[in-house]
Amino acid sequence: MRTEQSKTIYLKDYQVPDYLIDETHLTFELFEDHSLVHAQLVMRRNPEAGAGLPKLVLDGQQLELLELKLDDRELGEGDYSLTDSHLSLQPTQDRFVVDSSVRIHPESNTALEGLYKSGTMFCTQCEAEGFRKITFYLDRPDVMSKFTTTVSAEQHAYPVLLSNGNPIASGGEEGGRHWATWEDPFKKPAYLFALVAGDLWCVEDSFTTMSSREVALRIYVEPENIDKVQHAMDSLKRSMKWDEEVYGREYDLDIFMIVAVNDFNMGAMENKGLNIFNSSCVLAKAETATDAAHQRVEAVVAHEYFHNWSGNRVTCRDWFQLSLKEGFTVFRDSEFSADTHSRTVKRIEDVAYLRTHQFAEDAGPMAHPVRPDAYMEISNFYTLTIYEKGSEVLRMIHTLLGPELFRKGSDLYFERHDGQAVTCDDFVKAMEDASGQDLTQFKRWYTQAGTPRLEVSEAYDAAAQTYSLSFRQSCPATPGQSEKLPFVIPVALGLLDAQGNELALRLQGESAAQGTSRVLSVTEAEQTFIFEGITAKPLPSLLRGFSAPVKLHFPYDRDQLMFLMQHDSDGFNRWEAGQQLSVQVLQELIGQHQRGEALVLDQRLVTALRTLLEDESLDQAMVAEMLSLPGEAYLTEISEVADVEAIHAAREFARKELAAALFAPLWARYQANRETSKTTPYVAEAAHFARRSLQNIALSYLMLSEKPEVLVACVDQFENADNMTERLAALAVLVNSPFQAEQGKALAMFADFFKDNPLVMDQWFSVQAGCPLPGGLERVHALMQHEAFTLKNPNKVRALIGAFANQNLINFHRADGAGYRFLADQVITLNALNPQIASRLLAPLTRWRKYGSARQALMKAELERILASGELSSDVYEVVSKSLA
Ligand code: B3K
Ligand code: ZN
């Protein structure tokens, strides 16, 4: 458990490694009750590290050392020293070879880090520091080595033996065993190592690269899933093409493999040539996976593939630089999805996610910069800040430089640093060198945590025909950072006249207007921009496309927001105006609830949504997005003190009022779309996603009316839909409805039909875990006893416990604290089984400062109880101790 790792590690202490490993030769002998790992490391003194021959200190945890040799000489106990995390020995010359043999126990590894078993197959997860649980090694990303790997296992149970690179030899052994050797010609850090052994089937395809090389593509799954990989394969080929076209990046090995495993801590892993995926991010077909799941598979396949350049060919010098590969790769995958489907809808989804979850993280006890300065447990830093905010930082560079210079910068970065382990500074330097722009101040986005607040005010001078916008930026204190310096904030904007036309934008000092939408760079704490030639007071459309991850404040009134909803040429800002209108209306209802007044819905929201619903020329996905009221989690995030009951009551009241007032247009749109769905085969493309999303959100409103004809339609959709998107949406609204009989029947039918499909059963758990009706905690308790549930599978934990704590706020935040007690109990159990999952599950308790004093006390008491519960993993210890600090 907690050893030396609960010490804090600082970026400022970084030192180059004393030794390098040129070659790594591994042999694995896999057995049912243990495995043996032999490692031969061809090493040399690092010329950059100075003179002398310091001790060689190898990382290693939970390894039983069987044999150790230095240059073929067997070492006895006096020749080395061994702790529970390191093996040290004294080299005697600049170049030497270390041989070690260790015994490990993948069969009892429930942490799912290092080598472990998922069901009957062996697989690995090494990022960030899992390789040290496989063999003694310099387990740090700036040590890059050429790997050769031989795997041997019983042939019948493990016919498929895989590792990174190309297969170079294989054969049989006595006693029904066989072996295979793989060679990876590219130097890589140990975190990209992978091994798989199992009874797997594969779908094979091929891709011809831009220089006409044939690459074999294989997706391996357990036999029962072989019918669910076509979508992932199509996504992979589209990703490979897109990376050639948009970034000029070609794949480099002759084979690219993906393996789907059921027990996996994260979404997937970009191991060189052998990506290992959570099965939830590979398997998708119409009957068993929703539209959202199809889009997630496509995005994750693309993300991991894109890492081959942004992460593998050019990797991180140390883990403080994690966003170098993750922020960049998220930006790349989100642009891929935007190009493949609807750009505006993708942007809306990403921003809604960022503002709800990353902004909350940035305001909480674990807030950290995109490039952190310190950590205790690196697994805790695979965060929304590193990934999502990191991607926003890349997007801002893209916005400031423009697409051509950005591409020039990425070309220079890949060319300059191919085969190296580098820093975020190296990335920015390439962008500066390629563009000629100075990004010194911009780099504060990497070093300062917290979400900046941007207040904007306006002034119109009719006589001078000038319109000025004044910006004032500030950033709240975050742990360890009390003072912040101004950021570079790119603000994309336009000005609308009274008819909704866009005005030509000429700033003071310019001789000609520069278009009708442009990007201002706000660099000072307070700064004013003056537009000239403005003949009447305009309405500004600010932060178009969410051009910077900030909290924007402009005193729009509701009529202005309705105007922007209709007229803004920027699709994202039309949605944003609708969200702001909804927030204002909901906050008014929250106030009424808190004062004990009768709730009264501002009819302007009804009018605005009616206009959208009745306009059949609009993109249906946009209409669906605009109909979705801001979620309870977002309303919590923007509250000073979150009033759980008032937020829930206000939102539910608004939904019911809208459902009643808009019944006719909702019913018309629902019926039309459902009819089309009945007669259209399932297609995973934007127009079809759009139709089903409007259909399903309409259904969720319509069911609030409790009218019999809607119930009939809902049950029909549940029973007869040919795809999971429609079926699951119908199930979810039934579960949230008062129709007990229909609901019970549907849940039973669903579970019976899909009992052998764990990913579909995850959906079944989630739908029930998220149900806001009273008794949520009792339902979750009961579901934990269901035969399909197990704490050992991370997907199950997320589907049931995670969904309850993160999405069912009214039940989780029960006033008596039982929800908190439940979550703490699960964290304590999981701490011993799987520390990474335990630590992630904790997040809702860390947000205690958002709530009133009674809830604060209850949440803190549970954090204290976890802290006192015994030996904690470094993962859980870091999050709990920082939350209480
Ligand atoms: N790089 C992996 C993350 C692995 C995290 C391990 N704790 C997935 C990804 O971002 O592509
Ligand atoms: Zn990634």
Amino acid identity of residue 778, one-letter, is E
Q: Residues 785-804: pLDDT tens digits? A: 999 999 999 999 999 999 99
Pocket test for ligand 1, best of 112, 116, 270 (most atoms within 8 A of CB): 270
Q: Which ligand is nearest to the CA of 382?
A: 1
Total-model pTM: 0.98
CB 251 within 8 A of CB 207: yes
Residue 74 pLDDT > 70: yes
CB 161 within 8 A of CB 178: yes
> Which pLDDT belongs to residue 504?
98
> Which pLDDT belongs to residue 3?
47
Q: Is 523 exposed, middle or buried (0-12, 13-18, 19+ CB in 10 A)?
A: middle
> Which pLDDT belongs to residue 272?
98
CA dihedral 506, 510, 513, 517 (to 10 degrees): -60
Q: What is the DSSP string of 765-811?
A: HHHHHT--SS-HHHHHHHHHTSTT--TTSHHHHIIIIIHHHHH-HHH
CB 569 within 8 A of CB 494: yes
Residue 818 pLDDT > 90: yes
Q: Which residues surround ligand 2, an ion (CB under 5 A)?
A: 326, 329
* CA 291 vs CA 277, 375, 729, 743, 808: distances in Å: 19, 37, 11, 23, 22
Q: Facing residues of 689 across strands?
A: none
> Which pLDDT belongs to residue 6?
74
Q: Residues 173-205: pLDDT tens digits? A: 999 999 999 999 999 999 999 999 999 999 999
Is 614 marked active-site? Answer: no
Percentage of the chain surpassing pLDDT 90?
Answer: 99
2-19 mean pLDDT: 85
User: Could you give the CA distance from residue 778 to residue 220 in angstroms, rounded to a whole number?
Assistant: 39
Q: Residues 505-517: pLDDT tens digits? A: 999 999 999 999 9
**379 ligand 1 Cβ < 6 A:** yes
Amino acid identity of residue 282, one-letter, is V
**Nearest ligand 1 atom, CA 125:** 6
**127 ligand 1 Cβ < 6 A:** yes
Q: Is 182 exposed, middle or buried (0-12, 13-18, 19+ CB in 10 A)?
A: buried
Query: DSSP code of 273?
Result: T
Residue 825 pLDDT > 60: yes
User: In angstroms, what is the span from residue 379 Cα to ligand 1's centroid?
Assistant: 9
Percentage of the chain surpassing pLDDT 70?
Answer: 99
User: In angstroms, what is the span from residue 328 Cα to ligand 2's centroid?
Assistant: 9
**269 ligand 1 Cβ < 6 A:** yes
Q: Which ligand is nearest to the CA of 875?
A: 1
**303 ligand 1 Cβ < 6 A:** yes
* CA 877 vs CA 3, 37, 820, 847, 863: distances in Å: 11, 31, 18, 16, 10
Q: Facing residues of 188 across strands?
A: 145
> Which pLDDT belongs to residue 666?
98
Answer positive or negative: Cα dihedral of 164, 421, 10, 447.
negative
> Which pLDDT belongs to residue 2?
56
Residue 4 pLDDT > 70: no
**Nearest ligand 1 atom, CA 268:** 8
Q: Please name the residue that has the structure tokens 């429609």.
A: 726
Chain-centre distance for alpha carbon 635: 21
Q: Residues 119-159: pLDDT tens digits? A: 999 999 999 999 999 999 999 999 999 999 999 999 999 99
Pocket test for ligand 1, best of 269, 310, 324 (most atoms within 8 A of CB): 269
User: In angstroms, what is the span from residue 625 Cα to ligand 2's centroid?
Assistant: 27
Q: Residues 661-684: pLDDT tens digits? A: 999 999 999 999 999 999 999 999
Q: Among candidates 632, 620, 831, which has minimal Cα distance to 110?
A: 831
Q: Residues 395-433: pLDDT tens digits? A: 999 999 999 999 999 999 999 999 999 999 999 999 999
User: In angstroms, what is the span from residue 325 Cα to ligand 2's centroid?
Assistant: 7
* CA 712 vs CA 708, 715, 720, 727, 742: distances in Å: 6, 5, 12, 14, 10
Give Cβ neighbours of residue 217 (< 8 Å, ≥ 6 apart): 204, 205, 206, 207, 233, 236, 237, 255, 256, 257
Q: Which ligand is nearest to the CA of 277?
A: 1
Per-residue pLDDT band for 558 (boundaries 50, 70, 90) equals: very high
Pocket test for ligand 1, best of 113, 304, 382, 834 (most atoms within 8 A of CB): 382
CB 586 within 8 A of CB 649: no
Q: Among candidates 521, 502, 652, 522, which has minimal Cα distance to 564?
A: 502
Q: Among candidates 320, 348, 353, 347, which has minimal Cα distance to 331?
A: 347
User: In angstroms, what is the span from residue 304 Cα to ligand 2's centroid?
Assistant: 6
Ligand 1, atom 4, lies closest to the CA of 127
Pocket test for ligand 1, best of 5, 123, 127 (most atoms within 8 A of CB): 127
Residue 5 pLDDT > 50: no
Q: Which ligand is nearest to the CA of 310?
A: 2
User: Could you give the CA distance from residue 255 to residue 339 in angstroms, rounded to a whole number?
Assistant: 26
600-614 mean pLDDT: 98
Q: Which ligand is nearest to the CA of 264?
A: 1
Q: Which of 304, 326, 657, 726 is catalytic?
A: 304
493-507 mean pLDDT: 98
Map out the domains of the chain with their CATH numbers: 453-554 (2.60.40.1840)
Q: Among candidates 447, 451, 425, which has minimal Cα distance to 374?
A: 447
User: Could you give the CA distance from residue 515 to residue 267 in angstroms, rounded to a whole number?
Assistant: 42
Ligand 1, atom 5, lies closest to the CA of 127
**326 ligand 1 Cβ < 6 A:** yes
User: Could you give the CA distance from residue 273 to residue 300 in angstroms, rounded to a whole number?
Assistant: 15
616: tokens are 């059949």
Residue 624 pLDDT > 80: yes
The helix (H) or strand (E) run that includes residue 833 is helix 818-833
**270 ligand 1 Cβ < 6 A:** yes
Give Cβ neighbours of residue 254 (< 8 Å, ≥ 6 apart): 166, 213, 214, 215, 216
User: In angstroms, what is the span from residue 59 Cα to ligand 1's centroid?
Assistant: 20
**184 ligand 1 Cβ < 6 A:** no
Ligand 1, atom 2, lies closest to the CA of 269
CB 276 within 8 A of CB 264: yes
User: In angstroms, what is the span from residue 73 Cα to ligand 1's centroid?
Assistant: 38
Give Cβ neighbours of residue 39 (< 8 Å, ≥ 6 apart): 24, 25, 26, 98, 99, 100, 101, 102, 135, 136, 137
86-89 and 80-82 as β-strands: parallel, antiparallel, unpaired? antiparallel
Q: What is the DSSP string of 49-98?
A: G-SS-PPEEEE--S-EEEEEEETTEEP-GGGEEE-SSEEEE---SSEEEE
**Nearest ligand 1 atom, CA 304:** 11
Ligand 1, atom 10, lies closest to the CA of 326
User: In angstroms, what is the span from residue 278 Cα to ligand 1's centroid?
Assistant: 11
**304 ligand 1 Cβ < 6 A:** yes
User: In angstroms, what is the span from residue 118 Cα to ligand 2's centroid?
Assistant: 22
User: Could you give the CA distance from residue 231 to residue 445 in angstroms, rounded to a whole number?
Assistant: 37
Ligand 1, atom 3, lies closest to the CA of 269
> Which pLDDT belongs to residue 1?
57
User: Could you give the CA distance from residue 349 to residue 355 in angstroms, rounded to a whole number?
Assistant: 10
CB 131 within 8 A of CB 193: yes
100: tokens are 């070690």
